[in-house]
């Protein structure tokens, strides 16, 4: 099973993705983690609050997913972020979980985690880019009957249970 978690930064995608991956026995993949580990120009782009170029992101993800450990499925966080990325490489997700969270709550959560790239200004830039570029993906997956709306407010356990119910339902 191939599952995508989508939502604004701070919505809990990585926390929920890791829990779901453990529950289902599937690998968890985060483009944010991959990009930060790569360093160089990609890390520079992230540090400026921008998104990695569609072609570069698509190529990196495509190369990652051909690794044998992902053959039986995976939980993915962070790709695709634009409709263009889907055109360049579509992982053909079975289910897409949208963790919905208001921007102010996202900002509050991100400031609390204390990472160097989490200033109010950079968070606001990333959220603006997210809404402009990523919101259209919700419609894409909704039209295909793959989108599940999950309220991103609540305890980690409550949100995880909602996701598990949707996976099994």
Residue 13, both tokens: 């995608």
Mean pLDDT of all residues belonging to the chain: 93
Q: How far apart are CA 33 and CA 19, in angstroms?
A: 16
Across the range 26-45, mean pLDDT stands at: 87
- 162 pLDDT higher than 70: yes
pLDDT tens, position by position, 45-62: 877 767 789 999 999 999
pLDDT tens, position by position, 91-140: 999 999 999 999 999 999 999 998 887 899 989 988 998 899 888 999 99
Q: How far is CA 29 from the centre of its chain?
A: 9
DSSP string, 11-22: SSHHHHHHHHHH
pLDDT tens, position by position, 146-155: 999 999 999 9
Q: How far apart are CA 5 and CA 151, in angstroms?
A: 13
DSSP string, 29-89: EEHHHHHHHH-HHHHHHHHTTPPPPHHHHHHHHHHHHTSGGGTT-EEEES---SHHHHHH-
Structural domains of the chain sorted by starting position, each given as residue range(s) with its CATH number in brackets: 2-153 (3.40.50.300)
Q: Is residue 33 very low, low, confident or very high in pLDDT (cuts 50, 70, 90)? A: confident
From residue 36, how far is each of 62, 73, 128, 140 by CA, in Å? 17, 23, 21, 28
Q: What is the pLDDT of residue 49?
A: 65
pLDDT-wise least confident of 35-44, 72-81, 93-102: 35-44
- Among all chains, which residue has been given the structure tokens 């830039």? 125
Across the range 74-88, mean pLDDT stands at: 95
């Amino acid at each position: 099973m191939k599952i995508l978690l989508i939502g604004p930064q701070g919505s809990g995608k990585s926390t929920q993705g890791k829990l779901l991956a453990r529950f289902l026995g599937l690998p968890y993949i985060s483009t944010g983690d991959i990009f930060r580990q790569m360093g160089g120009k990609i890390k520079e782009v992230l540090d400026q609050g921008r998104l990695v170029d569609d072609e570069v992101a698509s190529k990196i993800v495509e190369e990652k997913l051909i690794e044998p450990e992902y053959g039986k499925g995976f939980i993915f966080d962070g790709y695709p972020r634009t409709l263009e990325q889907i055109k360049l490489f579509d992982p053909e997700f079975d289910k897409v979980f949208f963790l919905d969270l208001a921007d102010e709550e996202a900002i509050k959560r991100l400031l609390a985690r204390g990472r160097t790239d989490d200033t109010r200004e950079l968070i606001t830039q990333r959220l603006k880019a997210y809404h402009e570029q990523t919101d259209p993906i919700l419609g894409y997956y909704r039209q295909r009957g793959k989108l599940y709306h999950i309220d991103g407010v609540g305890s980690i356990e409550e949100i995880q249970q909602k996701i598990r119910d949707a996976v099994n339902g």
